Chains A and B, each alone.
Chain A
Amino acid sequence: MVTLSSDEARLGRVREVLARGGQRGSWHNVGYAVYVAALFGLVWGLPLAQQALRAADPGPWRAAAQGSSPVAVTAWSIGIVATLATLAWLGGRVRGPIAPDLSYIDLVVASPLDRLLTVRPWWRLTLFGSVVVGTILGLVLTGALAFLGLAGLGVLAAGALAGASAGVAVAWAWLLGQTSARGAGRSPVVAGRSGPSGHPLRRLTVPALHDQAITSRTIGGAALMGDLRGARLAAGGRPMTGRALRLRPARPFQVIVRRDVIGLRRNPIRLAAATLAMVLGSGLLCLRVGATSAPLWTSLLGALVGSAGLLGAAEGLRLQGDNTGTPALLGIPPRHEAIAHLALPALLYAGCVTLAGGALALAGLISPEALPWATAFGGIMLGQALIGAFRGLAPVPVFSPRMGIPALIGWAVAPGLFTWLALLVCIERARAAVQAVVGGAAAEPASASAAANAVVSLDAVTGALSLLGALTVGVLGWGFHRQQVQTDAHRG
């Protein structure tokens, strides 16, 4: 009978054989990574965090730090950790922390050895790495607060403890995400080895590990080749739900919109995440535009999160981009198809602005004038979605030895960065316009200053509208240009 201890002995012999290849242990690599991360956090992280807090107007931070109760701080911390853990769980369904080589999976994990033992090194590495990274992040953030005088040095210990705890939570969420992925966790637990509770590591199946190993290799290879489409397709889940839903016939434009609706209904996680992001993002944008005291970070984060949410809802558009180059199958011109694919994300975004902005306005936190502005920002976000869907492959010069990885990263992020900056400029101009209007309205109606304010308000609104209109047209035009280029690219 095979016992746990003999399994350990046999696994030890396996590792000896593997070590003959001359590979250094993973713990050496982890040790080096921790050293680099700690150094990086000290040299760069701390100063950057301080600068970020300063740039984001430390006033509200100070007020928050001084006015917050321990309960509020705890609630915020739990919310942040829960968000990170959810993201880790979702990530684990695509690529979990247990990621051995294919050969190790086939030859060792698939053997009768206890699976807990064969895959445990990866789990220990993950747990250790998460705790270390969480601790460093906690120290950097609380250290920045302490250096700015917003909190005492005692907060460092709390930050380290909270960071380490968050690391543990995120690591477990990542693992549980992997065990909840399709095909994982269905293998019968080996008799007599279920352990105290059937450890999640024992629930991992060879096919699931195999799939994830291949997926992660595909994503890595595609990313290195600048093939964002390939990486996305490899990472994207395949729907298995909503089979009973039927696409109802309609006119060409409407049926494309219905296609997108049914696609999102079959992917409820995507729908929920996109909606949540759009509500959060548009709420932050409404705050920045319509509330005098809203700090700059609401603008930065709102633009980022709102755009991400809208991109998540534009799956149909990306699928059209994925299919460019194939023979025409649909009887709708590609340009019209792209416009139809924009309809659903546009409507969803407008709905989210109404929901989030309306709630904030009703609560008296923002001026209602912010709502139409926040809605109009959706135009640039739609342009971002178009550009993203029709990126295509990285151009050949990016791969020249002289340019290297930075050029590839630059190619990948440049359009998003540019359009994000365009959005930020518009948000700030809109904020100035709304503040001018609100300030003008507050002046004595019959006074000379009121007349002057009216002129200033009109100028501010006209200027902001012109800028927003021009940049929206520019970004959308760029997106449609990319769509045309990609649609025609295959003609060679």
Chain B
Amino acid sequence: MPSAPADPPVTSAESAANTGQAGPAVGGEVLHPDGVLHADGVTKQVDGAWLLHPTDLVAGPGECVVVRGPNGTGKTTLLRIVAGLLAPTSGTVTYRGRPVDDRDPATRAALAALVGAPTAYRDLTVTDHLVLVDATWGGDPASCDERAAATLESLEIGHLATRFPHELSSGQQQLFHLALFLQRPAQVLVLDEPEQRLDPHKRAILTELLSARIESGKTLVIATHDEELSDALADYVLELTAW
């Protein structure tokens, strides 16, 4: 029987609001009494190894929490837990007081996550994917094509509409994934390094699109290494560091 892992050292935690600056060390806590997305003391351990030390996170409508930190500090793990894709070893994540779990239809309806490559069908073109996503979320069939085209144009990839996913370059794949992600309705958007493989121009477009989502009242939780993206979006910064 494996022995229980030692408790992690306790570190201080404080908020770092609207500055884009790094907060405290691991286990940073962002305080927001009116927040609707709560992660309370979530951890993840596998066979005694800590993937994520105790971490708190609170984010409300129209707010963006940027998660930062070196590789291996648990950013992706935290995002997967926050999105309900991964069960925490301890702690809880709730959205509007309801536990977050992607097996729960309410979670799936409220939270959209771009953590790793999303679902894609090798026999559908780029625009077919967007139509499929839109239609399964109950979008009006009469205007579905227009919405799909608008999403592609917003990322300046309208010319890729009839390509199959395997015909896209690495950066185009990322834009395609972002288009899929942005096509579905959601109240909370969880993104893991969405800027990867994008050129500066496309990063600027991405920043604009995400800013617009925040202004429309969506909640964003985003892990990024991009200073400009972080500065432009962050209401709070949660800095994770290695122990």
Would you call B159 an interface residue if the criterion is a C-beta within 8 Å of the partner chain's C-beta atoms? no
B136 close to A332 (CB less than 8 A): yes
**Which residues in chain A, 93-133, are within 8 Å of chain B measured between CB atoms?**
none
A330 and B101 CA atoms in complex are apart in Å by 16
Q: How many residues of A contact B (CB 8 A)?
A: 37
Known interface pairs A262-B123, A490-B86. Does A330 touch B131 (Cβ–Cβ under 8 Å)?
Answer: no
Q: A251-B135, A327-B102, A331-B109 are in contact. Are A492 and B87 (CB under 8 A)?
A: yes
Q: Are B135 and A238 in contact (CB under 8 A)?
A: no
B85 touches A491 (CB 8 A): yes
Contact: A490 with B124, CB < 8 Å?
no
The 8 Å CB contact of A333, one of B105, B120, B133, is B105
Specify which of B85, B109, B136, B138 lies most central, judged by the most chain A CB atoms within 10 Å of its CB. Answer: B136
- Residues 86-129 of B at the A interface (beta carbon under 8 Å): 86-87, 101-103, 105, 108-109, 112-125, 127-128
Q: How far is the CA of A491 from the CA of B105 in the complex (A)?
A: 15
Contacts of B136 in A (CB 8 A): 252, 255-256, 330-332
Give bound CA distance, A310 to B84, whole Å. 35
Whether A249 and B131, one on each chain, are in contact in the complex, defined by CB atoms closer than 8 angstroms, is yes
In contact, A263 and B121 (Cβ under 8 angstroms): yes
Interface segment, B8-16, B27-35, B139-147, B229-237?
A: B139-147
Bound CA–CA A102/B141 (angstroms): 49
Proximity string of chain A (320-335) to chain B, C-beta cutoff 8 Å, 1 when within and 0 when not: 0001001111111100
Centre residue among B103, B105, B135, B184 by max chain A CB count within 10 A: B135
| CB pair A249 B134 closer than 8 Å | yes
A339–B121 Cα distance when bound, in Å, is: 17
- What's the minimum C-beta distance from A84 to chain B, rounded to whole angstroms? 28
Task: Say yes or no: A243-B119 contact (C-beta < 8 A), given A328-B102, A487-B103, A490-B86.
Answer: no
Residues of A within 8 A of B118 (CB): 326-327, 329
Given A251-B135, A263-B124, also A331-B116 (CB < 8 A): no
Bound complex: CA A437 to CA B120 (Å): 50
Q: Say if the beta carbon of A236 comes within 8 Å of chain B.
A: yes
B85→A330 contact, CB < 8 A: no
Chain A residue at minimum C-beta to C-beta distance from B165: A238
Measured in the bound complex, the distance between the Cα atoms of B123 and A315 in whole Å is: 10
Q: Which of B46, B124, B138, B180 contacts A331 (CB 8 A)?
A: B138
In chain A, residues 470-492, which have Cβ atoms closer than 8 Å to a Cβ of chain B?
487-488, 490-492
B83 close to A (CB within 8 Å): yes
Q: Are B122 and A328 in contact (CB under 8 A)?
A: no
In this complex, the member of A240, A326, A331 whose beta carbon has the largest number of chain B beta carbons within 10 angstroms is: A331
Shortest distance in angstroms between A334's beta carbon and chain B's nearest beta carbon?
A: 9
Chain B residues, CB < 8 A from A247: 124, 127-128, 131-132
Q: A246 at interface (Cβ–Cβ under 8 A)? A: yes
Query: 20 A-B contacts, Cβ less than 8 Å apart?
Result: A238-B122, A244-B162, A249-B135, A249-B144, A256-B132, A262-B124, A266-B123, A315-B123, A327-B102, A327-B113, A328-B102, A328-B108, A329-B118, A329-B184, A330-B132, A331-B108, A331-B185, A332-B136, A491-B101, A491-B103
A residues apposed to B, CB below 8 Å: 236, 238-240, 243-244, 246-252, 255-256, 259, 262-263, 266-267, 315-316, 319, 323, 326-333, 487-488, 490-492
